Amino acid sequence: MERTLILVKPDGVQRGLIGEIVGRFEQRGLKLVGMKFLQMSEELAGRHYAVHQGKPFYHGLVEYITSGPVVAMVWEGNHAVAAARATMGATKPVEAAPGTIRGDLGMEIGRNLVHGSDSPENGVKEVSLFFHENELVAWQRATDGWIIE
């Protein structure tokens, strides 16, 4: 089973879209194994966006992600990263397909509602930034046999 980190960013929280976004991943068939509502510190934001340090947009990213609360989630499933990214849609909402979170609900790249891990390896790294292993719940869904072959 693969895991991915999904963040509902401050714009998604402020717009009251937490439930809608969670629902999209549930409907997709991914399984929620961890969730937190938090105000991200600059230190955590810096570690999360470390790959972008030195780029012109880095400070704006940190300032934005720390501007309000976020919802951090861990979703699990076969090909969880690819499934989550397809559910979110393209990074630029105006280029995202209808039916995706960003395509249906977003307008601007700087307010694109959600973050998702971009590879299984980054999924492992990002999950560990936000969650200790004992904060993740291993559980069996009654519907797993209807979702996973």
- Select which of 52, 59, 115, 132 is catalytic: 115
User: Which amino acid belongs to residue 78?
Assistant: N
CA pair distance 96, 89, nearest whole angstrom: 5
Annotated catalytic, 48?
no
What six digits make up the tokens of 71? 């919802």
What's the number of CA atoms in the CB half-sphere (13 Å) around residue 75?
30
6: nearest Cα among 19, 27, 22: 22
The full DSSP string for 10-30 is HHHHHTT-HHHHHHHHHHHT-
Catalytic residue set: 115
